[in-house]
Amino acid sequence: MSRLQEAGTLRSVGVGPLRVSYVPDGAVKMVPTFLFPETTEADWSANAELLDASGWLTISSGAVLIERGERAILFDVGFGPYPEPTANLQYGMASMYGGAFLDNLRKLGRDPETVEAIAISHLHVEHVGWADHPSLAHAPVLMSEPEWAARRAEHGVTQTVLDSMAGRLRVIDDGDELLPGVSVLALPGHTAGQIGFEVIADDARLVGFADVFHSPVQIAHPDWPLVGDPAPEASTQMRQRVLGRLRENGTIGFGMHFADVPFGRVSGTSWEPLA
Ligand SMILES: [Zn+2]
Mean pLDDT over residues 102-106, rounded? 98
d(CA 126, ligand 1 centre) in Å: 6
Query: How far apart are the C-alpha atoms of 137 and 253, rounded to whole Å?
Result: 30
58 beta partners: 29
The Cα-based distances of 118 to 123, 179, 235 in angstroms read 13, 12, 25
Instruction: Enumerate domains of the chain plus CATH numbers.
Output: 11-263 (3.60.15.10)
Going by C-beta distance under 8 Å and a sequence separation of 6 or more, which residues neighbour residue 189?
Answer: 212, 229, 231, 234, 235, 237, 238
Paired sense of beta strands 11-15 and 182-186, if any: unpaired
Ion ligand 1 nearby residues (CB, 5 A): 124, 211
Q: Output the pTM of the full model.
A: 0.96
Report the 3 state secondary structure along 211-230: HHCCCCHHHHCCCCCCCCCC
Mean pLDDT over residues 56-70, rounded? 98
d(CA 60, ligand 1 centre) in Å: 9
d(CA 30, ligand 1 centre) in Å: 12
What is the reported pLDDT for 1? 59
Mean pLDDT over residues 133-148, rounded? 98
Average predicted confidence (pLDDT) for the chain: 96
The Cα-based distances of 52 to 32, 46, 79, 269 in angstroms read 11, 14, 21, 22
End-to-end CA gap in the chain: 16
d(CA 98, ligand 1 centre) in Å: 13
What is the reported pLDDT for 230? 86
Mean pLDDT over residues 256-267, rounded? 98
Is 125 a residue whose pLDDT tops 80?
A: yes
